[in-house]
Chains A and B, each alone.
Chain A
Amino acid sequence: MKRLALALLFLATSANSQTLRIGLAEDPDILDPTMARTFVGRIVFAGLCDKLFDLDEKLNIVPQLATSYQWSGDNLSLVIKLRSGVTFHDGEKMDAAAVKYNLERHKNMKGSNRRGELAVVSSVDALDPSTVRINLATPFAPLLAVLTDRSGMMVSPKAAEAAGEKFGANPVCSGPFRFVERVAQDRMVLERFPNYWNKGQIHFERIVYQPIVDATVRLANLRSGQLDFIERVAPSDIPSLRSDGRFKVARIVEIGYQGITINVGKSDMAQKNPLGRDARVREAFELSLDRDAIVKVAMDGEAQPGNQWVAPSNQYYGKSAPLPGRNVERAKQLLREAGVPNPSFTLMTPTTSDAQRIAQVVQAMAKDAGFDIKIHSTEFATSLNLADKGQFEAYVLAWSGRADPDGNLHTMLACKGPTNYAGYCREDVESLISQSRTSLEPAQRAAAYDKIAVQVARDRPIVYLFHRHWLWAHNAKLSGLRTVPDGMVRVQGLKMN
């Protein structure tokens, strides 16, 4: 009897240590890869849904559900070889027919958020059970990177057909863990999928994702041992965590950016304001900023200064447009030349603590050059609306980032880009962007990006400020963590020692 009790106790405690508890900064939205719209939802998908391809720490494309790929000679079709023996959580086979179904679902389903990314895909053919061919209307370099995100996630066609729009309530994917339950704003519970193709890499029985919005409380949970891992640690909490041996901190430079979008043509407000009207005023504004100081004060040093849509360390960073330094004298001179020695404008700032700090630091810095900035605090949802209508002069806006640089550029700076709040449209930049998307040669793409960077640096529709650090903190006993710049918590290889 005693032995039984002991065995049960052992099982109980070891079962507990087989649950990974992750603290998220927000509650994800719909758990359907086709309809999902949030960054934080992707973190849950990392445990739930495998995708055709994945990214490694250097942002290279590596196989996951697909094993290899081959572009056709004219770059208008991509042939993908699929891994064999993969099944979905409901037992259905993950084969070419399933991939075809999924890609068509991403493209055609009402309310799909993936249509933009897959716009150039004209059709999908299942050549044989383990080979898929994706046909494109024009060559599209970012396609593989797109397939490492939600567009590459494969769900069970049977379950998707049956559930239709309601699939997100009970997602059936092919990832290492399968869906157990979700209590809105409380937790999402996943349990190990025994038939996962890479099961050797999975060392947990369950994952529980808990959204805890307040960063202080999220950290308190880690400290008190209720969570094993938290994402988005506040930069000011890092020093005390690092000196605590019970925890480890991971730091990754994001693939997104934080910047200030300026209305240069979205509405007539652009012409009415010197900042939107005159490139010299924008140059003076940028010259009044000390990016290093902004990072130090507003982000506690946890960011990398940048002046383009990709970080300076990225291979597609335009070296011909390097980071400018602060030059208040030159800024004042430019303002005199422009005839507005004391320009005034409104900086629309979402009410998040990051944006508020950045806006206040920028306000103080630009004052030295003569700028009178008024901070207009706006609820985030409202700010998106105002930006969409062009009802702003400048806007503190961040972008979560995509693996391919095109994902950070096209939607903001292409003439018809959905998030082109600046209202920026130049024929030469437009054709350069097009070139950078349709050429598959990295060297050619880099050359195009270089030229775009120079022009954008001159026009300044967006004043890029820096690239934030994804800050993770976890129990020191947790090993196997991979720090990929997309900020996703990959569960393969994670182990509690």
Chain B
Amino acid sequence: MGKYLLQRLASIIPTLFFVSVLIFGLQQLLPGDPAIALAGEDRDPNVVAYLRAKFHLDEPLPLRYWYWLSGVLQGDLGESVRIQKPVLELILEKLPVTIQLAAMAMLIALAIGITAGVISAVKKDTAWDYAANVFALWGLSTPNFWLGILLILLFAVQLGWLPASGYVSPFEDLKANLAAMIMPAFVLGNAIAAVLMRHTRSAMLQVLSSDYVRTARAKGLNERVVVLRHALRNALIPIITLGALEFGTLLSGAVLTEQVFSIPGFGKLIVDAVFNRDYSVVQGVVLFTASVYITLNLLADLAYFLVNPRMRG
């Protein structure tokens, strides 16, 4: 077990290295001179020269990578050229927003996904199964930006129940915060619900045919108790550990959801930065989120390892 843990930890460093090379390469290879893109419509030659110097654009690529990497290792993720704010500050500013959105989305996804998955597993191959399937799948089958716009038009413009977009800090006004976050969280969670449903169904089917459950049934326990108390509880672990891996999908989905709902989180930050050629921001944020994802991955692996007796031996 200790050996496994060390192996996994050791693999993080090369992975992160490749992430850094990948994202740096992708950014630097984007077509065109970023200095010109950032100089704006006036295209003042002095500004272009200034930006070229600031970005070390006249220096070779590996050297630029080294400047950036050595900065990162010292905790300096660079600065957004567009608004001159340190990337680390931007990350810390938007982290609570993204965490809240991700957490709420995950809760919604779990609620929908687990429910649908349990129903689908218990009532396998019946109309309930198909209904639960479609219910969970429809979130995965609609582009989330589209669903978002429809929800805004319905709940904000037509009914006036919820704000159309924007973000209010929960410390400022909790009610307004929840009102603003519920739609984007729903849109985001919807897509992941299907994946969680699949995991749940899979895990439940496995548990339901296990000896443990057969014993419980033989003991004459109420079917509902068997399903919810015994089967589900055991199925939850693989569901949650696999679900943690969906963090990456969450962030992917957040990219567009945040655009539509104007939520100032990571997704919006990255997309705008790619189009504005604000390199440091993209590199810094992706490196950060990749690190978080890798850590979550590691924790999920460990959790799975710990509860799965087969792997321990």
Chains A and B in contact, CB within 8 Å: yes
Chain A residues positioned under 8 Å from B153 (CB to CB): 216, 220
A29 vs B84: C-alpha distance when bound (angstroms): 8
A113 vs B39: C-alpha distance when bound (angstroms): 8
A111 vs B55: C-alpha distance when bound (angstroms): 13
- Of the candidate stretches B132-140, B194-202, B261-269, the one touching chain A is B261-269
Chain B residues positioned under 8 Å from A210 (CB to CB): 166, 262
How many Å from the CB of A122 to the closest CB on chain B?
A: 17
Query: Taking each of B47, B51, B164, which has the highest tally of chain A beta carbons within 10 Å of its own beta carbon?
Result: B164
Judged by a CB distance under 8 angstroms, whether A343 is at the interface is no
Asked if A212 and B262 sit within 8 Å, CB to CB, the answer is yes
Number of A positions contacting B (CB below 8 A): 49
Asked if A226 and B40 sit within 8 Å, CB to CB, the answer is no
Total A-B contacts with CB atoms under 8 angstroms apart? 144
Interface residues of A (CB under 8 A from B): 27-30, 32, 35, 37-39, 110-113, 115-116, 165-166, 168-169, 183-186, 210-214, 216-217, 220-221, 223-226, 379-382, 384-386, 388, 399-400, 411, 418-419
Asked if B269 and A380 sit within 8 Å, CB to CB, the answer is no
A185 vs B84: C-alpha distance when bound (angstroms): 13
Query: Nearest CB to that of A29 among chain B residues?
Result: B82
Asked if A166 and B264 sit within 8 Å, CB to CB, the answer is no
Asked if B264 and A384 sit within 8 Å, CB to CB, the answer is no
A35 vs B39: C-alpha distance when bound (angstroms): 10
A379 vs B164: C-alpha distance when bound (angstroms): 28
A-B contact pairs, 9 of them (CB 8 A): A37-B47, A112-B47, A113-B44, A220-B165, A224-B163, A384-B36, A386-B32, A399-B41, A419-B41
A382 vs B275: C-alpha distance when bound (angstroms): 9
A113 vs B82: C-alpha distance when bound (angstroms): 13
Which 4 pairs from chain A and chain B are nearest by CB?
Answer: A385-B32, A37-B40, A381-B37, A186-B264
Asked if A217 and B260 sit within 8 Å, CB to CB, the answer is yes
| A213-B262, A384-B37 known; A184 vs B163 contact (CB < 8 Å) | no
Asked if A111 and B51 sit within 8 Å, CB to CB, the answer is yes
Asked if A168 and B84 sit within 8 Å, CB to CB, the answer is yes
Chain B residues positioned under 8 Å from A211 (CB to CB): 262
A213 vs B38: C-alpha distance when bound (angstroms): 18
| A185-B269, A217-B260, A384-B37 known; A37 vs B84 contact (CB < 8 Å) | no
Residues of A contacting B: mostly: loop
How many Å from the CB of B89 to the closest CB on chain A?
A: 9
**Within the complex, which residue of B47, B54, B84, B166 is in contact with A221, where a contact is CB–CB below 8 Å?**
B166
Asked if B264 and A184 sit within 8 Å, CB to CB, the answer is yes
Asked if B82 and A380 sit within 8 Å, CB to CB, the answer is no
How many Å from the CB of A438 to the closest CB on chain B?
A: 21
Chain A residues positioned under 8 Å from B41 (CB to CB): 37, 39, 399-400, 419
Chain B residues positioned under 8 Å from A221 (CB to CB): 156, 163-166
Asked if A112 and B165 sit within 8 Å, CB to CB, the answer is no
List B residues 165-201 near A (Cβ within 8 Å).
165-167
Interface residues of B (CB under 8 A from A): 31-34, 36-47, 50-51, 54, 80, 82-85, 90, 93-94, 149, 152-153, 156-157, 160, 163-167, 259-262, 264, 268-269, 272, 275-277
A399 vs B54: C-alpha distance when bound (angstroms): 27
Asked if B32 and A382 sit within 8 Å, CB to CB, the answer is yes
A418 vs B44: C-alpha distance when bound (angstroms): 6
A16 vs B34: C-alpha distance when bound (angstroms): 42
Asked if B276 and A185 sit within 8 Å, CB to CB, the answer is no
Asked if B84 and A165 sit within 8 Å, CB to CB, the answer is yes
Asked if B40 and A38 sit within 8 Å, CB to CB, the answer is yes
Query: Nearest CB to that of B258 among chain A residues?
Result: A185
Asked if B84 and A217 sit within 8 Å, CB to CB, the answer is no
Query: Nearest CB to that of B276 among chain A residues?
Result: A381
A388 vs B93: C-alpha distance when bound (angstroms): 36
Asked if B165 and A185 sit within 8 Å, CB to CB, the answer is no
Asked if A213 and B259 sit within 8 Å, CB to CB, the answer is yes
Chain B residues positioned under 8 Å from A388 (CB to CB): 33, 36, 43
A399 vs B165: C-alpha distance when bound (angstroms): 30
Chain B residues positioned under 8 Å from A184 (CB to CB): 80, 83, 85, 90, 93-94, 264, 269
A476 vs B276: C-alpha distance when bound (angstroms): 35
Chain A residues positioned under 8 Å from B277 (CB to CB): 381
Asked if A379 and B84 sit within 8 Å, CB to CB, the answer is no
Asked if B272 and A27 sit within 8 Å, CB to CB, the answer is yes
Chain A residues positioned under 8 Å from B165 (CB to CB): 212, 217, 220-221, 226
| A111-B51, A168-B83, A221-B165 known; A185 vs B43 contact (CB < 8 Å) | no
A381 vs B39: C-alpha distance when bound (angstroms): 10
Query: Nearest CB to that of B82 among chain A residues?
Result: A29
Asked if B44 and A183 sit within 8 Å, CB to CB, the answer is no
| A388-B33, A419-B41 known; A220 vs B272 contact (CB < 8 Å) | no
Chain A residues positioned under 8 Å from B44 (CB to CB): 113, 115-116, 418
How many Å from the CB of A210 to the closest CB on chain B?
A: 6
How many Å from the CB of A113 to the closest CB on chain B?
A: 5
How many Å from the CB of A91 to the closest CB on chain B?
A: 25
Asked if B36 and A214 sit within 8 Å, CB to CB, the answer is no
**Within the complex, which residue of B40, B164, B166, B264 is in contact with A113, where a contact is CB–CB below 8 Å?**
B40
Chain B residues positioned under 8 Å from A169 (CB to CB): 84-85
Asked if A37 and B39 sit within 8 Å, CB to CB, the answer is yes
A223 vs B33: C-alpha distance when bound (angstroms): 40
Given contacts A184-B264, A217-B164, 10 further A-B contacts (CB under 8 A): A29-B82, A210-B166, A213-B259, A221-B165, A223-B157, A381-B34, A384-B32, A384-B37, A385-B33, A419-B42
Chain B residues positioned under 8 Å from A381 (CB to CB): 32, 34, 37, 275-277
Chain B residues positioned under 8 Å from A165 (CB to CB): 84
A65 vs B145: C-alpha distance when bound (angstroms): 46
Chain B residues positioned under 8 Å from A183 (CB to CB): 93, 264
Chain A residues positioned under 8 Å from B40 (CB to CB): 29, 37-38, 113
Asked if B42 and A220 sit within 8 Å, CB to CB, the answer is no
| A385-B33, A418-B45 known; A220 vs B83 contact (CB < 8 Å) | no
Chain B residues positioned under 8 Å from A226 (CB to CB): 163-166
Chain A residues positioned under 8 Å from B261 (CB to CB): 217
Query: Taking each of A115, A184, A212, which has the highest tally of chain B beta carbons within 10 Å of its own beta carbon?
Result: A184
How many Å from the CB of B282 to the closest CB on chain A?
A: 13
Asked if A224 and B42 sit within 8 Å, CB to CB, the answer is no
Asked if B31 and A382 sit within 8 Å, CB to CB, the answer is yes
Query: Nearest CB to that of B167 among chain A residues?
Result: A186
| A111-B50, A381-B37, A385-B37 known; A116 vs B84 contact (CB < 8 Å) | no
A419 vs B43: C-alpha distance when bound (angstroms): 6
How many Å from the CB of A396 to the closest CB on chain B?
A: 14
**Within the complex, which residue of A217, A382, A411 is in contact with B149, where a contact is CB–CB below 8 Å?**
A217
Asked if A30 and B264 sit within 8 Å, CB to CB, the answer is no
Chain A residues positioned under 8 Å from B34 (CB to CB): 381
Chain A residues positioned under 8 Å from B262 (CB to CB): 185-186, 210-214, 217
A110 vs B164: C-alpha distance when bound (angstroms): 41
Chain A residues positioned under 8 Å from B166 (CB to CB): 186, 210, 212, 221, 226
How many Å from the CB of A406 to the closest CB on chain B?
A: 14
A386 vs B33: C-alpha distance when bound (angstroms): 9
Chain B residues positioned under 8 Å from A166 (CB to CB): 84
